[in-house]
Amino acid sequence: MYAFQAIQQALSPLAKTNGWPLEPDVYDGDAVTYITYNEADNRPKEFGDDDPLYRTVDLQIHFFTPLYKAGTRKKTNYIPHREAIREALYAGGFTYPEVTVLADIDSDPQASVWHIVFECDYVETI
């Protein structure tokens, strides 16, 4: 299975339950909470008869959600979503994700978002 297929398989149930779009590379829709994903690196490994036996794919999965609850200055609690995404990826055959939490601040507080980046690897057999 390819890495992007594995991401869809691992995260689609969670995304569907929560109504989050799940898109490769860029999401250009209107949802305020969504997930995107991209390859950071794709390397062949373990050669036999000059052919690679598998590929290691380094991935970034990005979760975006509003920084503040609608119409307030109270921050949104992203932690349950962070843990659910992390566990779904791990259960889906990815290495245990490293997580970076970023607050993308906009001049309009209601346009500010939590940007949570999950970095993990997936092995694609050839």
Per-residue pLDDT tens for 54-64? Answer: 899 999 999 99
Pick the CATH number of 3-125 from 3.90.1660.10, 3.30.2000.20, 1.20.1050.10, 3.60.21.10: 3.30.2000.20
- Residue 86 has what pLDDT? 98
Question: pLDDT tens-digit profile of 30-78?
Answer: 999 999 999 999 998 777 777 788 899 999 999 999 999 988 889 999 9
Q: Indicate the pairing of strand 34-48 with strand 22-24.
A: parallel
The predicted model scores a pTM of: 0.92
Q: Name the percent of the chain lying above pLDDT 90.
A: 81
- N-to-C CA span, the chain: 9
Output the CA–CA distances (angstroms, integers) from residue 67 to 87, 96, 110, 119, in the order listed. 22, 25, 8, 21
